[in-house]
Structure 1
C-alpha cells in the first residue's frame, strides 16, 4: 500500500516537472525574436536611478510621484544580478513568465480537476498578445509581479471560500499579497472589496479578518501619504487620476476591455498592435467561433447551475469572486487617459481560470465518462477555444511593430549592436558621431545609453554628437565611430570604415602606422577651408638634401625640405572634394628593419584635414 502511494506521488511529481519544462520551452519558443540589447526611455531612466542613487534612494524614493518599494527592491536585485548584460533581461522575463504560467497551470488544474485544462490555461497565458510588455521591457518585471500577486490573492481567497481548514493561513497569505502588490503597482489597491465580498459570503464573524485587511489598506494609504504626499494614484504619461478621471470615458474604456477579453482589439494600432477593423477576415471569423464556443459552454453551465440547486449555494460565491475580481481589475485600468493592452492581462488570465472552473464544476472528477455529452460541451469546448485562438494570438504577435514604443526599442537595440556589440569595451572613450537625428534622441539618452554596458557604470570619455553630414567632421581617427540612421529599418548603421576610406584612402605606399614609402599616394577629402596639414618625422641622419615633392592631382603643389627631424607643410585643395596626393621622396630611411613593398620606407607622416 505504501509502495503504491509512493509510486503515485512520484508519477505526479514527474507530471509536474514535464508540465514545467513544456511551459518553459513554449515560452522561449513563442517569444523568440524579442530582445533587449539597449535600454531607452523608462527602462533607461530606471537604470540611471539604479546606477546613480543609493540603495535607500532607489528603493524608497521619498517625494516621488510613486512609491513602489516592493517593485523597486526586486528591480534593484535584478539589475545587480544581471549587471551590464542588458541582453539577459528578456531571458529573465521569459523565465519569470514561465513561473507565472506554471502557477496558472496549477490553479487551472485545481479548478478544472484536469491536467489538460490547467495546462491549456498556462499555454494561453504564455501565448497571449498581451504579454508583449512583460517580455520586451525591463519594466515588464513590475507588470509580471503585479499580475502574479493579484492572481495569488484570487487563489488564496478561492481556497478560503471552498475549504474548511487552514482558512486563517489563506487569509493571511492573501492579505500579505495585497499589501505587497499595492507597492508594486497602486492600481491593485482596488482589490480591497474582493476581501469584503469573501468575508460576507462566508459569513465571517471574526473581527481580525475585517479589521486586518482594512488596516492593511489604511496602512498603504498612510505610507503613500507620508512618502509621496498624496493618496491619489498617479495616472499614465505623467497625469494624475484625480485630474483626468471622467465617468463616461471610464465606462467606454471598461467596455473596450471586456471586448479585449473576448479577443476583439478595440484600441488603436499603436496600443493594440492592430485594431479590430483592420484585422483580416479570417482572424475575425476565428475570434467569433472561439467566442461561440465560450457562449455554448457558459449557457450549458448556467443550465446545470440552476438544474442542480443543491450546489448553487456553493458555486455562486466562487462565481462572484471571479467576476468581481475581473470587474475590479477592469475598473482600475479604466480611470486613466488610455487603455494599454498590458493592463488587461490580469483580467484575461482570470477569465481563463474562470473557464477552467466552469469545466471543473460541469464535469466533476470521475464523472467525465458517465455523464453523456458533458466532456465535449465543457472541457472539449474550452480546448476548442484555445485551438481557435492559437493562430489569432500568433497573428497579433506579428503586429508588435505597430506598438507605440516598439520601433524605438528596435532602434536602440540596433544602436547597441552597432557599437558595444561590435567593439565591446573598446567603445568606451570613443567620440560617436551620428549622422542625422530624425529619431530625436534626448540629451539624457545620449549621456546615459552607453553607461549601461560599463561595469563601472561610467563609460568615461564616451561622447555622442549629432552631425548633418560627414562634412561636419575631419578625418576619422581611431577614437571615432560614425553611425547613420536607417529609418526604413528602425536601425543604425556603422559607416566608420566607409567614411574613413572616403575621407582618407591609402592607394599605395602609405601605412596605418604613418610610414610612407619613397613613392606613396593617398586620396583625402578636405573640409570647409580646403586645408591639408602635413607633419613629417624623419628619424634618420639629415644631410640637408632630403626633400619630399607633394603633388595634387598629378600637379606639383609644394616641395618640403627636411632640415630637421620634423617638417611641417600646409597646402590648399578644393573644399569637400576628394583630392589625390602623391608623395615623392628623394631619400629613404636606411636603418628601417623592414621593407613593405618594392620601395623603401622613407618618412613618418601625420596628415590631417580641416
Structure 2
C-alpha cells in the first residue's frame, strides 16, 4: 500500500514537472520576436527614477498620484537585476507569466479534476493576445503581479467556500493578497465585495474574518490618503476617475469587455490590434464556432447543476463567486476613459478557470472510470474550443503592430540596435546627429536613452542633436554618428559611413588616419557656411623650404608654406556643395616606414568643414 502511494506521488510530481517544462517552452515560443532593446516613455521614466531616487523615494513615493509600493519594490528588484542589459526584460516578463500560467494550470486542474483540462487552461493563458503588454513593456510586470494576486484571491476564496474544513491559512492568505494587490494596482480594491459575498454564502458567523478584511480595506485607504492625499484612484492618461467617470461610458465599456471575453474585439484597432469587423471572415467564423461550443458547455453544465439537487446550492455559490469576480474586474476596468485589452486579461483568465470548473461538475472524476462517453464528449468541447482559439489568437498576435505604442517600441529597439548594438561602449561620448524628428523624440528621451546602456548610468559626453539634412553638419569626425529615420519600417538607420564618404571622398593619396601622400586628391562637401579648414602636422625636420600647393575646384590655388610643425589654412567654397581639392607637397616624411601609394607619405592633415 505504501509503495502504491509513493508511486502515485512520484507520478504526480512528474506530471507537474512535465506541465511546467511544456508551459515554459510554449511561453518562449509564442512570444518569440517580442523584444525590448531600448526604453522610452513610462519605461524610461521608471528607469530614470530608479537611478535618481533613493530606495525609500522609489518604493514609497509620497505625494505622487499613485502609491503602489508592492509593485515598486518588485520593479526595484527587477531593475537592479537587469542593470544595463535592456534585453533581459522580456525573458523576465515571460518567466513571470509562466509562473502565473502554472498557477492557472494547478487551479484549473483542481477545478476540473483532470490534468489535460488544467494544462489547456495554462496554454490558453499564455496564448492569449491579451498578454501583449505584460511581455513587451517593463511596466508589464505590474499587470502580471496584479493578475497573479487577483487569481490567488479567487483560489483561496473558492477553497474557503467549497471545503468543509478549509485550511486555517486560506483566509489570512487571501486577505494578505488583497492588501498586496491594492498596492500593485489600486484597481483591484474593487475585490472587497468578493470577500463579503463568500462570507455570506458560507454563513460565516465568526466576527474575525469580517473585521479582518474590513480592517485591511480601511488600512489601505488610510495609507493611500497619507501617501497621496486622496482615496480616489487615478485614471488613465493623467486623468482621475472622479473627473472622467460616466455611467453611459462605463456600461459601454463593460459590454465591450464581455465581448472580449468571448473572443470579439470590441475596441478600436489602436487598443485591440484589429477590430472584429475588420477581421477576416475565417477569424469571425472561428470565433462564432468557439462561442457556440462555450454555449453548449454552459447548457450541459446548467442541466447537470439543476438535476443534482444535493450539490445545487454549493454549485450556485461557486458560480456566484466566479461571476462576481469577473463582474468586479470588468467594472473596475470600465470606469476610466478607455478599455485596453490588457485590462481584460484577468477577467478572461477567470472565465477559462470557470470553464474548467464546468468540466469538473459536468463530468466528475469519479465517473470517468465508469462511463467514458460523457467525459469524452464534454471535455472535448473545451479542448476543441482551445484548438479553435490557437489560430485566432495567433492571428491577432500578428496585429500587435497596430497597437498605439508598438511602433514607438520598434523605433527605440531599432535606435538601440543602430547605436549601442553596433558600437557598444565606444558609443559613449559620441555626438549623435539624427536627420529629422518626425518621431517626436522628447528632450528627456534624448538625454536619458543612452544612459540605460552604461553601467555608470551617465553615458558621459553622449549628445543627441536633430538636424534637417546632412548639409547642416560639416565633415564627420571619429566621435560623430549620423542616423536617419525610416518611418516605413518604424526604424532608424545608421548612415555614418555613407555620410562620411559622401562628405570626404578619398580619390587617391588620402588615408583615414589623416596622412597625405605627396600627391593627393579628395572631394570634400562643405557645410552651410561654405568653409573648409585645414590643419597640417609635419613631424619631420623643417628646413623652411617645405610647402604644399592646395588647389580647389581646379581654379583657386594657394601655396601653404610649412614653416612650423602645425600650419592652418582656410578656404571659402560653395556652401553645401562638393569641392574637389588636390594637394601637392614638395617634401616627404623620410622617417616613414611605409609607402602606401604611388608617392611617399608627406604630412598629416586634419580637415574640417562648416
Farther off after superposition, 458-467 or 400-409 = 458-467
- Give the whole-Å Cα distance in 2 for the aligned partners of 1:7 and 1:373: 28
Report the Cα distance in structure 1 between the residues aligned to 2:540 and 2:460, rounded to whole angstroms.
Answer: 39
SS in 2 for 1:238: coil
Mapped to 2, the partners of 1:347 and 1:565 lie a distance apart of 77
1:153-192 alignment runs, 5 A limit: 153-192=153-192
Partner Cα distance (1:372, 1:467) in 2:
73
Which residues of structure 1 form unaligned runs of 5+?
Answer: none
Alignment match, 2:313: 313
**Cα-to-partner distance string for 1:143-199 (whole Å, 9 max, x where unaligned):** 000000000000000010111234431001100000000000000000000000110
Partners of 2:300 and 2:606 lie apart in 1 by: 86
Q: Match for residue 542 of structure 2?
A: 542
Other-structure match for 1:497: 497
Question: Is 2:525 aligned against 1:551?
Answer: no
Q: Tell me, what secondary structure is at the counterpart of 2:368?
A: coil
**Structure 1 segment 206-355 matched on structure 2, within 5 A:** 206-355=206-355
Deviation larger for 571-580 or 313-322: 571-580
Moved more, 4-13 or 179-188: 4-13
SS in 2 for 1:366: helix
- Counterpart for residue 195 of structure 2: 195
| Mapped pair 1:488 → 2:488 | yes
| Backbone CA RMSD of aligned residues | 1.1
Are the aligned partners of 2:518 and 2:599 in contact in 1 as well (CA < 8 Å)? Answer: yes
8 Å contact kept, 2:153–2:178: yes
Q: Which residue of 2 is the match for residue 75 of structure 1? A: 75
Cross-structure match for 2:108: 108
Runs of 4 or more above 4 Å deviation: none
Matched position secondary structure for 1:493: strand
Q: CA deviation at 1:316?
A: 1.1
After TM superposition, list the pairs within 5 Å mapping 1:523-602 onto structure 2: 523-555=523-555, 557-602=557-602
1:439 alignment partner in structure 2 = 439
Cα deviation digits, residues 281-309 of structure 1 (max 9, x gap): 10000000000000011011111111111
How far is the alpha carbon of 1:595 from its aligned partner? 2.0
Alpha-carbon distance in structure 2 between the residues aligned to 1:198 and 1:256: 27
8 Å CA contact 2:159, 2:166 repeated in 1: no
- Point out where structure 2 has 5 or more consecutive residues left out of the alignment: none
Q: Write out aligned runs for 1:29-48 (5 A).
A: 29-48=29-48
Q: Which residue of 2 aligns with 1:25?
A: 25
Aligned residue pairs total 610
Report the equivalent of 1:464: 464
Contact 2:451/2:457 (8 A) holds in 1: yes
> What does residue 99 of structure 2 align with?
99
CA distance in 1, matches of 2:557, 2:21: 75
Kept in 2: contact 1:43–1:138 (CA 8 A): yes
Distance in 2 of aligned mates of 1:539 and 1:404: 59
Distance 1:251 1:19 in 2: 39
* Range moving further from structure 2, 522-531 or 48-57: 522-531
**CA distance in structure 2 between the aligned counterparts of 1:34 and 1:132, rounded to whole angstroms:** 9
Q: 1:488-507 CA distances to partner (integer Å, 9 max, x unpaired)?
A: 00000000001111111222
8 Å contact 2:473–2:528 — kept in the other structure? no
**CA distance in structure 1 between the partners assigned to 2:282 and 2:331 by the alignment:** 31
Q: State the alpha-carbon separation in 1 of the partners of residues 164 and 239 from structure 2.
A: 45
Provide the C-alpha distance between the structure 2 equivalents of 1:434 and 1:585, rounded to a whole number of angstroms.
38
Match of 1:382 in 2: 382
Cα contact 2:34–2:90 (8 A) shared by 1: yes
8 Å CA contact 1:261, 1:347 repeated in 2: yes
